[in-house]
Amino acid sequence: MKVSEKYFSEFLGTLILLLSIVGSGIMGQNLSQNEGVVLLANSLAIGFTLTFLIITFGKRSGAHFNPAVTLVMLLLKKIKLNEALVYIFMQVIGACAGVMIANIIFGLDAIDLSSKYRSGFQLNLSEILSTFGLLMIILLNQKNKTEVVAALVGLYIGAGIWFMSSTAFANPAVSIARTLTDTFTGIHFSSITPFVLSQFLGAITALVVLKKFYKI
Length of the chain: 216
Q: Is the model's pLDDT at 211 over the cut of 70?
A: yes
Answer whether 18's CB lies under 8 Å from 104's CB: no
60, 69, 108, 121, 125 from 188: Cα distances, Å: 33, 23, 17, 16, 18
Distance of alpha carbon 79 from alpha carbon 200, whole angstroms: 17
| pLDDT, averaged across the chain | 97
Q: Which residues of 4-34 are buried (b: 16+ CB within 10 A; e: fewer)?
A: eebbbbbbbbbbbbbbbbbbbbbbbbeeeee
At CA 174, angle to CA 145 and CA 112, rounded to 5? Answer: 145
Q: Return the percentage of the chain with pLDDT > 90, whole number.
A: 98
What number is the average pLDDT over the span 83-89?
98
What average pLDDT does this structure show over 101-116? 98
The reported pLDDT for the residue numbered 215 is 85
Whether 52 and 150 have beta carbons less than 8 Å apart is answered as yes
What are 153-179's pLDDT values in tens digits? 999 999 999 999 999 999 999 999 999
Domain boundaries, the chain: 3-213
Q: What is the pLDDT, as a whole number, of residue 1? A: 63
Q: What DSSP state is assigned to residue 179?
A: G
User: 191, 166 in Cβ contact below 8 A?
Assistant: no
Measure the CA–CA gap between 1 and 21, rounded to whole angstroms.
29
Class of domain 3-213: mainly alpha
Among 151, 174, 150, which Cα is nearest to 59's?
150
